[in-house]
Amino acid sequence: MGRKWNNIKEKKASKDANTSRIYAKFGLEIYVAARKGEPDPESNRALKVVLERAKTYNVPKAIIDRAIEKAKGSSDEIYEELRYEGFGPNGSMVIVDALTNNVNRTASAVRAAFSKNGGNMGVNGSVAYMFDATAVFGVTGKSLDEIMELMLEADVGVRDIVEEDEDVLVYAEPDQFHAVQEALKAAGITEFTVAELTMLAQNDVTLPADAQTQFEKIIDTLEDLEDVQQVYHNVEFAE
């Protein structure tokens, strides 16, 4: 799992360096999640997941509160959840999740991000089958053995528990996100270095320098798009 964790850290570090953009994306995601059900995380699991993720990115409370209050109001903004799949150089694969109020605008922008940087869009299902939806939590201050014992006692659907650098990582089935989170919190763990529902590639690829540069342009362009919320890929970036 080490290489997958490197990709998660790289992605998180990139977003941490663009706080205004990530805050805006979380504001929209919180609004959409709150509109799906009650604007209360205790009764709205989708909202609770987003808020836990937002916490690991230090999203200000004011942004969270504003998005939830907007969802409580009479706003008639409707956003669609879309997924695009595509290819970069040398067998690299990309999944793009978006929230949009203009499907044509988003599709055109995502297609251009691929084509202008040497990639191409694929059809639905052409890439996603090579990724696994996964819940992942990162914990510090606890040993691998301690976390293993906690998860064993909690009897939740954990796929793997590994130690990476100073973190202990818990990989679980997506529908076990809340169960894992509650088990960790019950043990006094309230801060996570990562708390994500993500898509992990089954097999990573390493690109030669020129192809990696090209691929990074695809990713950067996609992540800069206003409608794009998440970008997942199977490339292990060289140091």
Using CA atoms, how far apart are residues 194 and 10, in angstroms rounded to an integer? 12
The class (CATH top level) of 80-129+203-233 is: alpha beta
Q: pLDDT category, 156, cuts 50, 70, 90?
A: confident
CATH superfamily, domain 2-72, is Integrase, N-terminal zinc-binding domain (1.10.10.200)
Which residue, chain included where needed, has tokens 């799992």? 1
User: In this predicted structure, what is the pLDDT of residue 145?
Assistant: 93
Q: Are 85 and 121 in contact (CB under 8 A)?
A: yes
pLDDT tens digits, residue range 58-116? Answer: 899 999 999 999 988 877 788 999 999 999 999 899 999 999 999 999 999 999 999 99
Q: Give 148's contacts (C-beta < 8 A, 6+ positions apart).
A: 161
Say if 80-129+203-233 and 131-201 have the same CATH topology. yes
Q: What is the pLDDT of residue 3?
A: 47
Per-residue confidence at 8, pLDDT binned at 50, 70, 90? Answer: low
Q: What is the pLDDT of residues 11-34, one digit of tens each?
A: 555 555 568 888 999 999 999 999
CATH 3.30.70.980 is held by the domain 131-201: yes
The domain ranges of the chain are 2-72, 80-129+203-233, 131-201
Are the beta carbons of 117 and 222 closer than 8 angstroms?
no
Band of the pLDDT at 190, cuts 50, 70, 90? confident
Give the mean pLDDT of the chain: 89
Which tens digit of pLDDT belongs to each residue from 116-136? 999 999 999 999 999 999 999
pLDDT attached to residue 113: 97
pLDDT the model gives residue 221? 96
